[in-house]
Structure 1
Amino acid sequence: MSSAPAGLSAPVHAPGLLAALADLPDPRARRGVRHALCTVVGAAVCAVVAGCRSYTAIGEWVADLPADTAQMLGIDPRRRPSEAMLRRLLQGLDADRLTAVIAAWLATRIPATGARRAIAVDGKSVRGSRTAGSAARHVLAACDQATGAVLASTDVDGKTNEITRFQPLLDQIDNLTGVVVTADALHCQREHVAYLAQRGAHWILTVKGNQPHLHAHLTALPWRAVPDAERTSDRGHGRREIRSLKILSISTGIDFPHAAQAIQVRRRRRRLDQPKRFTTETVYAITDLRVHQATPAHLANWARGHWSIENKVHWVRDVTYDEDRSQIRTGTGPQVMAALRNAAISALRLTGVTNTAAANRHHARDSHRPLALLGIT
């Protein structure tokens, strides 16, 4: 039997996914229902853990299950869910409710470390869902920075934008007391910081041109006289990046509620095949955290952790699961499939997996492995 990929280990002891999915409302009429909703959705998550990218692939995975594995999922081996039934059911699910149920289950599996928790809020368009008459579906998510687990997600339809969905997204997370929420420049809004203060959360917000007055104040601060609080160098994705971080207290002079410190992050990048060509980017941020509440190393880790969500979740969905070329467009299908991918990626991340593609292949070789990962035994 092949060994597990690096980082794969037994999941944290917690209730299994099928038990959590029992709270999911079933959109089907009762008459003629042969398979429990939790069984069908649980099987779909298992299939995505094994690398399935489409309804057809999920249906084939279910059809090929050994009888004993099917029974563990609650499937009668003689009357398995068809691909057409899987498709209809997944297209009719309440995507936000599905995400909330899965996120609540994932939260029970995140180990307590004693460190201050950080959550990154970031959005992603599902480009393949675009049609001639409608824009691509957009999903806003909140991710645990340490693990990459998706804790909440909500659809951003064409009639609204990420700003109006910020509070409903974080309302899905029960306790934000003491948590640091990081977000990009779009969410540098007074209403957002007032909401986070009510929830007892702290924040680090990027500042760009959408807040021109605030951005001008930050760029005018005496950064040349400030020494680097932290300097790091990394290699990855064919490039080298040098990051330097400076911090200034701003108790007065900045017209933004609760802002206590300003942060300047300077990133110098070069491609490894072009060693003499550097590009430099300077980004500013503000935080309500005071000097005694967070060290420069903490602030640097949280700022870097926000950008890493792109690699931990969005990049995996695009590259490993080929999400942007998915042709799923009907009903809530795009959001539901995004939720299933997030569930699979998060469950794998919580076991220490860093190579999702290798983990998909590992779980595809033995149908019992996805069930064990998701606590279905």
Structure 2
Amino acid sequence: MGGASSFAAITDWLQDLDEHARTRLGFGDVVPAGTTMWRLLIRLDPALLATVLAGWLHTRAHQSGPPMPHRYRRVIAVDGKTLRGARLGSSRQVHLLSALDTATGIVIAQVTVDTKSNEITSFAPLLDAVEKVLGTLAGVLFIADALHTQTGHADEVTARRAHLLVQVKGNQPTLFKQLKRLPWAQIPVGDRTRDHGHGRRETRTVKAVTVQTPGGIGFPHAKQAARITRTRIAAGKTSRETAYLTVSLPAGQALPAICRPGSAATGTSRTSSTMSAT
């Protein structure tokens, strides 16, 4: 946060502070040596430090930014990344599962996982960490990739009065087949965007439907199925990509524009205005 990326740089940063700033940190006139700072920082509880910093950032963003209109819903994107240049004592790389508040661009919580395949077991602890910062998850929409299309995740999110939007791939073969076989040709286009640049043109088409069958959608608490089709034309060649999603919000609170690239569902600052905050 201060631009220092090593223990020596942290010590230099402290030495450059004025007397008032050093006093606020509890150092007074004496600046600790680099080895002392190292012993201090390695003893910190990383989970507690992350919670404190996330809460501080969340409070600052809430105070400095404009108030969120009532019709907008808080959207949090969940994703995992392996950190470059960071290793634990066993020489294992550090992998974090993080929760990004798309309205502020702040990571408000993160938990350490052993490997990327273990992100699934870290989902509930991440929800706990987010809830600790926000106070409640009621009405929050969580967005995650296909790895987190898990029935346990859907139950956990719903139990906390929140909502879930996830992509469906081969890790849920029955659900994937069900969504793929829906009569998409008869479903009207709900939203369409066109972009061009770098010698490429791309059209994104979104369709969404509430499945009116006795069994509904084969995923717990899912209210709608959505399909996003991306058609790209580059160097005279055309390619097409199709993605399927489910969302636990009903059509009255999540029209197809929520899945539109450029909406909060894909990681920008806020949700579609069609979403209700109730």
Offset of residue 217 of structure 1 = 1.1
| 1:81 corresponding residue in structure 2 | 32
CA drift of 1:232 comes to 2.0
Which residue of 102, 106, 115 corresponds with 1:145?
102
Name 1:189's counterpart in structure 2: 150
Distance across 2 between alignment mates of 1:57 and 1:277: 51
Q: Which amino acid aligns with 1:194?
A: D
Unaligned runs of 5+ in 2: 270-278
Q: Deviations over 1:165-188 (max 9, x none)?
A: 111111121311111111111111
Number of equivalenced pairs: 257
Q: Which residue of 2 aligns with 1:118?
A: 75
Q: 1:248 aligns with which of 188, 209, 213?
A: 209
**Aligned pairs for 1:328-343 within 5 A:** none
- When residues 131 and 201 of structure 1 are mapped into structure 2, their CA distance, relative to the original with a 3 A threshold, is closer
Q: Is the 8 A contact 1:251 1:260 kept in 2?
A: no
Matched, 1:63 2:20: no
Match of 1:198 among 121, 141, 159: 159
- Preserved contact between residue 217 and residue 225 of structure 2 (Cα < 8 Å): no
CA drift at 1:158? 4.8
SS state at 2:219 partner: coil
* Distance in 2 of aligned mates of 1:297 and 1:230: 6
CA contact (8 A) 1:230 1:300 kept: yes
CA contact (8 A) 1:116 1:178 kept: yes
Aligned to 2:275: none
Determine which structure has greater relative contact order: mean sequence separation of CA pairs < 8 Å that are 6+ residues apart, divided by chain length: 1
Structure 2 residue aligned with 1:90, among 41, 45, 65? 41
Whether 1:103 and 2:86 are equivalent positions in the alignment is no
Q: 2:264 aligns with which of 292, 299, 305?
A: 305
Counterpart of 1:263?
A: 226
* d(CA) in 2 for partners of 1:62, 1:279: 54
The normalised TM-score by structure 1 is: 0.61
The Cα offsets for residues 282-334 of structure 1, whole Å up to 9 and x where unpaired, read as 11110111111222223437x8435437xx9xxxxxxxxxxxxxxxxxxxxxx
Alignment CA distance shift 1:158-1:181 (3 Å): closer
When structure 1 is superposed on structure 2, of 142-151 and 108-117 the one drifting more is: 108-117
Give the structure 1 partner of residue 274 of structure 2: none
Q: Secondary structure at the match of 1:62?
A: helix
1:102-143 CA-partner distances (Å, limit 9, x unpaired): 222233332541221111111111132358964311111111
Alpha-carbon contact 2:206-2:257 (below 8 Å) kept:
no
Alpha-carbon spacing, 1:180–1:237, altered in 2? closer, same or farther (3 Å): farther
Q: Contact 2:138–2:161 at 8 Å: present in 1 too?
A: yes
Correspondent of 2:247 among 287, 290, 297: 287
Write out per-residue CA displacement over residues 152-201 of structure 1, whole angstroms, 9 at most, x where no aligned residue. Answer: 11111259711111111111213111111111111111111111111101
Distance 1:238 1:69 in 2: 52
Percent of aligned pairs with the same amino acid: 43
2-structure distance, mates of 1:102, 1:144:
14
Q: 1:240 to 1:59 in 2, by over 3 A?
A: farther
* Structure 1 pair 61–245 and aligned structure 2 pair: CA distance change class (3 A): same
Q: Following the alignment from structure 2 to structure 1, what is the Cα–Cα distance between the partners of residues 123 and 232?
A: 31
C-alpha displacement at 1:68, in angstroms?
4.7
Question: Aligned-pair distance for 1:73?
Answer: 4.4
Q: Could you say which residue in structure 1 is the equivalent of 2:272? A: none
Q: Which runs of 5+ in 1 are unaligned?
A: 1-44, 313-377
TM-score by length of 2: 0.80
Q: Distance in 2 between matches of 1:227 and 1:86?
A: 62
